[in-house]
Chains A and B, each alone.
Chain A
Amino acid sequence: MSRWAPALLAVAALALGACGEGDSGDPASAGSTEDVVGVGPVRANSTAQFASCTDWRRGSEEERYATIADIRGQLTVQTDPDATSDLPDDATYAMFEKVCAPSYSDSLRLYKLYARAQAFAPLRTDLEQ
């Protein structure tokens, strides 16, 4: 983590209504929870496609968890009725926090990071507790 990243995160956490660069998506109806909107530009009532590390940093904790729920739903197998993941949302949160800390990670898409992280979740004994 770069030296200034913690400060950036602290400031970013105060920002609400995150929206991606150059995008005109209306975040009003995004997110997969009823009341909380996920971070990033909205497409088809979801922010999963475009949410980036920049958006992540701008989001509140609630918005971030809404984003994770949204991405989780989109990235599970389409024919699986459960849409549950072996990667708990808390672990996802921690992973996004780490990867999104350096400034060079600004544009990394969260769903692309999630796709990788979700893959190894079944083998993580620390998540079985």
Chain B
Amino acid sequence: MIVGRLRTTERSRATRRLAALAIGAALAVPAAAAAHLERPSYWPDPAPDTSVSPPAGGEVPDARGLPSAVTGKGPGDVLVVCKGKDGSDSLRLLRKSLEQATGKGFYIRPSQPKYVLSEKKAQKLRRINRALAEDCKYDSIQQAVFNAGNNDRVVIMPGRYTEPKSRQAPLNDPRCNPSLLQEDASGDLTPSYEYQVTCPNDQNLVYVQGREVVGKPPSPPLTNRHGIPAQELGKCVRCNLQIEGSGAQPTDVIIDGGRAYKSKNPEAKPGELVKDVIIRADRADGFVVRNLTTRGALEHGIYVEEADGYLIERTKMFWAADYGNLSFTSDHGMYKNCDGFGSGDAVLYPGAAPETASQATSFYPDAPRINTVLKKCDMRGSALGYSGSMGNAVRITDSEIYGNTTGISSDTLSAGGHPGFPSDSSQIDHNLIYSNNLDLYRPDAPIKSLVPVPIGTGILYAGMNDARVHDNWIFDNWRNGAMLFTVPDALTNGGGAEGDIDPGVSCAGAPANGISTSCGNQFYSNHMGQAPKGFRFPNALNQFGVPHGETAGGNRKSTLPNGNDFWWHEWAGNTGNCWFNNTGADGTAGSVTGPGGHGTPPDVLPSDCATSVGPGDDAKTGYLIDCGDGPDEDTSPLACDWWQPPPRPGTAAAARKQNRTALAVERWEASVEAEALRDRLAELGYGP
């Protein structure tokens, strides 16, 4: 809304400064997913590599069942890792695990019922493990991986694996540092692929080299990130590798980058972290991890880089300081039946996912398609359940995302180092997204957050096109159910997009008009503010004392309102964003709340995708201004409130806060600061 305007000369210099700073902060879309630093990376060729048989990549690999590890069937050799002489310790641990698995049962995902193993299956597992023990030749996973080749399997028997030799490997090893560091165009250094291969345990507890080292990386890096450059693309040496636990439960095998635990509980928090990454799979097409747990990393639990085809199944990722799992510039990925918590950033992060949808080129002849699927996973107890900078064409489905500070965040903000600008075609469907109210911005926070994100938020899109958010239950997020921001092109950091911008950006006039994000997003058929019949909060939600509502009990639907269901930035000119067939806290469309308490017109969410155009809302931009400058302790009505726990929806405190903010917005609309903001937006070409 534009009201009376002061001439530029009438504005004070101080106000101009404030306004400019404010605009910048607002448009920066703060609190987005926070990326990571990596060598210049390329999307792998999506076609299967037929130089190995069966071919590697081209699709999500199938996991080979554990029984075939002892029958001799199937391609490749089986390398067995165990604890104790002839696996005696592993077999003892298995017996103990089976007692629990066949008795009380165990959780693969805490949100789901316990799984109880039948005695018949337990007996089969005993037989398999006894046979594996006879073949066991390794007590080190890394040594087994070193000795593995294409199509091989590394089977790990129950036990906690700390990989002492890897831990002892020198950090910043002079064999590799600095001689094998790789320069970007401006001379900044990162470890090259050859660095990782030559000094595999410098940063990694277990390193999987997928391909031979040949040649040097292009210098400077190529702007076309489609395909690993031929000059450094070696042949497969560990493609189609499978690493798996042979226990009854994923926690029977723990690969551990931490130490100084106070208990033997698999979920125990490490007192100290000693290695950056627990498993790094580098250019390892067709990579499979299943039935194990990674715990305690200075950075990431499982890191998949430049790979075509990977499957992470029946796997738990605990206490990674940064990401439980990080997949980067990788294609044909699947996470299934997984669980993670304790991440300072996100539990799962498929970043710089390939352009297989709106902006696909002939490099992806089968486009449009989803390139990465997260299915049946619990993402919980972390700063973010999921995040992905340039998370193109990633689908999250049939999962539960709960008890985080923010549940899901996907952004176009962190352009530097992340090819795939702008992010598009995220799909979030058939999930339960609830109670993401974890306060990590207090001195005694249970997890060390690496990134500031808004407390009480279900979904946060900071620059996304063509998303489809549908058929989810989104409830009990005390600030917002789902947020959609714009990231104008001028604000993608580090000098703009990383690599080429492929055609097909969905915003009309982009990229010439400088607005390439937040167009064509659809939110439909979601249940907002209600939990499904019979829903009960998992006990895991109480692990960090996350505040939440109360269910109705029995087999009834529970009313568990979000603070606000849909928050939309309403950026002027954004097209194709629509919300339809959603229901609110009382089960009707009329009870859906949005677009937000801080906004001015339209205050009605557009339902017609074909005609939806953002009207502009400077008040919301003003609200974001303060958030852009990071956490502080300002609690004035228009200050960013993301770092303070929101009041429980429906309470007098929530109503007071809403009223106070509405009044402040009214005052702000007529202020000199608001005028300056509007003028500045116009000067930048983002005005009416």
Q: Is the CB of A80 within 8 A of B186?
A: yes
* A-B contacts at CB below 8 angstroms, number: 206
Which of B364-372, B442-450, B658-666 binds A?
A: B442-450
**Interface status of A33 (Cβ within 8 A of chain B):** no
**Interface status of B414 (Cβ within 8 A of chain A):** yes
Query: Whole-angstrom distance between the alpha carbons of A123 and B494 in the complex?
Result: 13
Find chain A residues with CB under 8 A from B28 CB. Answer: 116-117, 119-120
- Return the contact of A95 from the options B184, B272, B630, B680 (Cβ within 8 A): B630
Q: Is the CB of A2 within 8 A of B633?
A: yes
**Interface status of B40 (Cβ within 8 A of chain A):** yes
**Interface status of B304 (Cβ within 8 A of chain A):** no
Q: Is the CB of B498 within 8 A of A77?
A: yes
**Interface status of B100 (Cβ within 8 A of chain A):** no
**Interface status of A6 (Cβ within 8 A of chain B):** no
Q: Is the CB of A122 within 8 A of B491?
A: yes
Assuming the contacts A73-B188, A104-B441, A124-B24, asked whether A112 and B450 have C-beta atoms less than 8 A apart, the reply is: yes
B31 nearest in chain A by CB position:
A116
Query: Whole-angstrom distance between the alpha carbons of A50 and B203 in the complex?
Result: 13
Residues from 515 to 559 in B contacting A, C-beta threshold 8 Å:
none
Q: Is the CB of A107 within 8 A of B450?
A: yes
Q: How many residues of B contact A (CB 8 A)?
A: 79
Residues from 167 to 181 in B contacting A, C-beta threshold 8 Å:
171-172, 177-178, 181
- Return the contact of A120 from the options B25, B186, B273, B449 (Cβ within 8 A): B25
A42 nearest in chain B by CB position:
B172
A32 nearest in chain B by CB position:
B188
Q: Is the CB of A107 within 8 A of B448?
A: yes
Which of B15-23, B57-65, B282-290, B598-606 binds A?
A: B15-23
A52 nearest in chain B by CB position:
B450
Q: Is the CB of B17 within 8 A of A83?
A: no
Q: Min CB distance, A22 to chain B, in Å?
A: 5
Find chain A residues with CB under 8 A from B21 CB. Answer: 124, 126
Residues from 74 to 110 in A contacting B, C-beta threshold 8 Å:
74-83, 85, 95, 98-99, 101-109
Additional 4 contacts, C-beta under 8 A, given A107-B448, A116-B28: A44-B172, A77-B416, A77-B494, A99-B631
**CB-defined A-B contacts under 8 Å, sample of 19:** A26-B171, A26-B172, A44-B181, A45-B172, A74-B188, A75-B494, A77-B417, A79-B222, A79-B498, A98-B632, A99-B631, A108-B451, A112-B450, A113-B630, A115-B413, A116-B28, A116-B493, A120-B25, A120-B628
Interface residues, chain B, CB within 8 Å of chain A?
Answer: 16-17, 20-21, 23-25, 27-32, 34-37, 40, 171-172, 177-178, 181, 184-191, 195, 203, 220-223, 272-274, 276, 298-299, 344-345, 413-417, 440-443, 445, 448-452, 487, 490-499, 628-633, 680, 684
